[in-house]
Amino acid sequence: METLKDCHFVPSHRCQTRRCSITVNDILRQTHWACLLLIFCIAASCTGADDREFLDDQANLLNKESGQRIITYHRALLTDFDIHCKLVTLARPSQDINGAAIELFDNLGASTGQARGLLFLVDPLGEQVRIEVGYDLEHIFPDAFVGHIERRQMVPFFQRGLVGAGIEATEELFITRIQRSSAGQPFDAAVELGAIGHYSGGGGARQQVVIGSEELANQPSTTDPDNYQPGASPEQSLAVYRQVLLDKVKDPNLPLYTPQTRKFLSAWVVTDAQQDNALRSLRDATIDQVLVSGSRAVIRFPLPHRTHPPYLLKNNGQGWEIDFATMNQVIRMNHRNMWHFTTQEHPYRFGFTDWNFDNHGFPVAEP
Looking at residues 178-197, what average pLDDT do you find?
Answer: 68
Looking at residues 313-323, what average pLDDT do you find?
Answer: 96
Query: What CA–CA distance (Å, rounded) separates 311 from 178?
Result: 25
Beta bridge partners of 290: 299
Most confidently predicted of 70-74, 169-173, 298-302: 298-302
- Backbone conformation region of residue 216, classed left if phi is above 0, alpha if psi is from -120 to 50, else beta: beta
Looking at residues 26-52, what average pLDDT do you find?
Answer: 50
Looking at residues 117-144, what average pLDDT do you find?
Answer: 89
| Helix extents (H) in the chain | 13-17, 24-51, 64-81, 97-106, 143-149, 155-159, 163-182, 189-192, 234-246, 259-265, 272-284, 324-330
For the chain, percent helix, then strand, then coil, each to nearest 5? 45, 15, 40
**C-alpha angle 112/115/121, rounded to 5°?**
90
Looking at residues 208-213, what average pLDDT do you find?
Answer: 86
Q: Is the pLDDT of residue 221 over 80?
A: no
Residues 6+ away with beta carbon under 8 Å from 354: none
Q: Helix/strand/coil (H, E, C) string of 16-36?
A: HHCCCCCCHHHHHHHHHHHHH
Most confidently predicted of 22-26, 192-196, 322-326: 322-326
Over the stretch 31-41, which tens digit does the pLDDT of each residue have? Answer: 554 544 444 44
Lowest mean pLDDT among 71-85, 201-215, 241-255, 266-280: 201-215
Phi first, then psi: give them for residue 308, nearest 5 degrees: -110, 95
pLDDT band at 232 (very low <50, low <70, confident <90, very high): very high
Residues 6+ away with beta carbon under 8 Å from 214: 159, 160
Higher pLDDT, 283 or 186: 283
Q: Please say whether the beta carbons of 142 and 149 come within 8 A.
A: no
Q: 247: which DSSP letter?
A: T
pLDDT band at 5 (very low <50, low <70, confident <90, very high): very low
Helix axes 163-182, 272-284, angle to 10 degrees: 30
pLDDT band at 243 (very low <50, low <70, confident <90, very high): very high
Over the stretch 77-114, which tens digit does the pLDDT of each residue have? Answer: 889 888 899 999 999 999 998 888 888 887 776 666 55
State whether residue 306 is helix, strand or coil: coil
Q: Please say whether the beta carbons of 229 and 240 come within 8 A.
A: yes
State whether residue 349 is helix, strand or coil: helix
Looking at residues 122-146, what average pLDDT do you find?
Answer: 89
Q: 137: which DSSP letter?
A: G
Q: How far is CA 67 from CA 58, 63, 98, 153, 351, in A?
A: 12, 6, 24, 19, 36
State whether residue 261 is helix, strand or coil: helix
